[in-house]
Amino acid sequence: MSVPSKLRAARRLTALAAAAVLASALAAATAPQAVAAPGPSFTNPLVGAPNSADPSIVHSGGNWFYVATTWSSKIVMRKSSTMAGLKTAAEQTVFTLAPGPGCCTMWAPDLQWINNRWYLYFSADATPGQGQRRTGVLESSGADPLGPYTYRGILNLEPDAGWAIDGSVVRFNGYANHFVYSAFRGGEQSLFIAPMSTPAQVSRNGVRISSPTLSWERQGGAVNEGPYAVYNAGKTFLTYSASSCQTPDYKLGMLTWTGGDPMSPSSWVKKSTPIFQRNDAAGVYGPGHASFVRSPDESETWVVYHANSSAGQGCGTTRTTRAQKIGWHSDGSPNLGAPVATGTTITGPSGDS
């Protein structure tokens, strides 16, 4: 074969090889992508009464862990390989309170993974009948959310606040972790934030970042409580519960962090309307005190909250835990929609199998 013929043959082989690579790339791009299977379906309530108000839920090591208010000295947790399985999972006592750590009426636990340990924050009286509720802290000895746990003390300062309750941790880009909670000042129950020096202590008294000034925050009482952060599109949103939990008008509001110092009230903007509220047509009343969790494959965000099935049930042990997948508005903020009706079949989180 002459040199020109060899060159032409080489060019043809190169072109064929390039075409093959392109065809392979196109096939890969257009081939069906693997999609994580949805988890088992369940119906709301996800967890029934009585230990099911103020829910906190995490997914770790292939399992779900759920903790909520018990109104007792015991902190109990449920564990299940699927979210649906929490409905029938056994309660396991992870810690028993005593005077000092808190006594008798534990509520609003919050489970957080920080520095390779689990921290369980909870509201309780320091001694029976004292009425000065504070936030206590438990620290796990390892990576198991079931513990064992060691009591690390009272996190809140707030010596004159009466209560300093319903706390949770908020994470910020460029700032240390902060603790958000609800306390009384000036006769109103408002939201406060304080910087954390360690996962078990704040370094100064909190600063008020939200007061119940809007009419929908003052039904049955002027209340902002139960703050909990949700993150999306590089933004931090702080949800909270508004109005008295004794009414069916208990609901969720939202603050948006604008990027400045979290301790500055000007760094927070309140949404003027609720983001989640009663759905009379569905028979869901007083939905609130929500937490948020990602699906096992990280593709979905779910809201987990408590609500009543009757308008007159109030703040007691009738409240049950419900869960549903949320969406997002065009500005990146959470779109919770409306609470779904009791008995509605809900497809479980993606990858929950």
CATH of residue 188's domain is 2.115.10.20
In this structure, what DSSP letter does residue 317 have? T
Contacting residues for 42 by C-beta, under 8 A, at least 6 apart: 83, 84, 87, 323, 345, 346, 348
Reply yes or no on whether the pLDDT at 101 is more than 80: no
Contacting residues for 343 by C-beta, under 8 A, at least 6 apart: 43, 44
Q: Is residue 24 part of a domain?
A: no
Q: Is residue 27 part of a domain?
A: no
State the total domains in the chain: 1
Q: Is residue 23 part of a domain?
A: no
User: How many beta carbons lie within 10 A of that of residue 271, not counting itself?
Assistant: 15
For position 154, what pLDDT does the model report? 87
Average pLDDT of span 4-10: 42
SS3 5: helix
Residue 326 tokens, joined: 């949320």
Can you tell me the distance from the alpha carbon of 176 to that of 335, in angstroms, rounded to the nearest whole number? 27
Reply yes or no on whether the pLDDT at 5 is more than 70: no
- Measure CA 29 to chain center: 36
User: How many beta carbons lie within 10 A of that of residue 36, not counting itself?
Assistant: 16
Annotation marks residue 225 as catalytic: yes
For the chain, give the number of residues: 353
Q: Is residue 114 part of a domain?
A: yes
Residue 320, strand partner residues:
307
Average pLDDT of span 7-11: 42
Residue 181, strand partner residues:
192
Reply yes or no on whether the pLDDT at 133 is more than 60: yes
Q: Is residue 21 part of a domain?
A: no
54, 110, 125, 249: which is the annotated catalytic residue? Answer: 54
Can you tell me the distance from the alpha carbon of 217 to that of 36, in angstroms, rounded to the nearest whole number? 40
Average pLDDT of span 98-116: 89
Residue that wins the pLDDT comparison between 283 and 17: 283
Q: Where are the beta strands (DSSP E) in 91-174?
A: 91-96, 103-114, 117-125, 134-140, 149-154, 164-172
Which tens digits make up the pLDDT trace of 176-216?
999 999 998 877 899 999 999 999 999 998 999 999 999 99
For position 7, what pLDDT does the model report? 37
Q: Is residue 200 part of a domain?
A: yes
Q: Is residue 176 part of a domain?
A: yes
**Residue numbers of the domain that contains 92:** 37-350
Average pLDDT of span 158-164: 68
Instruction: Let me know: does 101 contact 120? Beta carbons within 8 Å.
Output: no
Average pLDDT of span 118-147: 89
Can you tell me the distance from the alpha carbon of 353 to that of 84, in angstroms, rounded to the nearest whole number? 10
SS3 102: coil
Worst-scoring range by mean pLDDT, 9-13, 161-165, 295-299?
9-13
Worst-scoring range by mean pLDDT, 17-21, 304-308, 318-322?
17-21
Which tens digits make up the pLDDT trace of 62-99?
999 999 999 999 999 999 999 999 999 999 999 999 87
Work out the mean pLDDT of the chain and round it to a whole number: 89
Q: Is residue 84 part of a domain?
A: yes
Can you tell me the distance from the alpha carbon of 36 to that of 88, in angstroms, rounded to the nearest whole number? 25
Place of tokens 């909670």: 181
For position 290, what pLDDT does the model report? 98
Residue that wins the pLDDT comparison between 2 and 233: 233
- Measure CA 92 to chain center: 21
125, 139, 166, 225: which is the annotated catalytic residue? Answer: 225
Residue that wins the pLDDT comparison between 55 and 33: 55
For residue 57, name the pLDDT band (cuts at 50, 70, 90).
Answer: very high
In this structure, what DSSP letter does residue 246 have? T
Q: What is the pTM of this model?
A: 0.88
Reply yes or no on whether the pLDDT at 19 is more than 80: no
Reply yes or no on whether the pLDDT at 23 is more than 70: no
Q: Express as a percent the part of the chain with pLDDT over 70.
A: 87
CA neighbours closer than 13 Å in the CB half-sphere of residue 253 = 27
Which tens digits make up the pLDDT trace of 221-265?
999 999 999 999 999 999 999 999 999 999 999 999 999 999 999
